[in-house]
Amino acid sequence: MEQLENLMNKYPENELMIKEQIMRRGVTDENVISAFRATPREFFVHGLSKQIIYFDSPQSIGYGQTISQPYMVALMTEQLRLTGKEKVLEIGTGSGYQTAVLARLAKQVYTVERISELSLRARQNLDRLGITNVSFAVADGSLGLPEFAPYDRIIVTCAMPENKLSVSPLLEQIADNGFILAPVGSEFFQILTRVRKIRRRIEKEQISSCVFVQMIGKYGW
């Protein structure tokens, strides 16, 4: 409890973000909220004022990529339904914000980023926070990371094309009873979707509308 109070006092902008942008919109999982308190957003966005860093919107992290809106990161995290025992694959490391939150809630995280400079930056950001249960890879994220499959969860932080979902290699990398959580749709509009493969059938559960940067790669754009 004392450690929690120290974090809340040390990073007041982070605490205000959690209350106004996350909890107020219906994210109630206490483990998710605690993970956000332990992961100040300012560690992952550099060169901007704190007011902008904690603003209710995505922010540029260079190379045409963004760090997602705080609420969307929280919503996706809660929708993963993590218990602390899972092996998770993240497609799209970015600066490591979502990665760090996942690492506090899962047993092991594997994360793939196609831009080597961002992958290195994310590794440095997580090192500063003392997070050690993350493995980094620089590769075409649309191919997944088959060498460490199967995964209990796969989270995709870039837009997956609807017309390529059925042939995505990610479907073959999910463990029994696992699922993919991804923005699925067109280049300019997507639906956050939970995807399961049951035998030869794909089941999709739509959660929320969203807009993400495009997945670039063999099974992206």
d(CA 138, CA 149): 16
d(CA 125, CA 131): 9
Nearest to 204 by CA among 166, 164, 155: 166
Q: Which of 68, 119, 142, 168 is catalytic?
A: 68
In DSSP terms, 210 is beta-bridged to 190
**Backbone torsions φ then ψ of 146, nearest 5 degrees:** -65, -25
Beta strands in the chain (DSSP E): 59-62, 65-67, 87-91, 108-113, 134-138, 151-156, 160-161, 174-185, 190-198, 201-210
In DSSP terms, 185 is beta-bridged to 161, 190
Active site (annotated) includes residue 68: yes
Taking the CB of residue 216, how many other CB atoms lie within 10 A of it? 15
Nearest to 126 by CA among 90, 162, 101: 101
In DSSP terms, 153 is beta-bridged to 88, 179
Q: Six-digit token pair at 172? A: 């073959």
Among all residues, which ones are annotated catalytic? 68
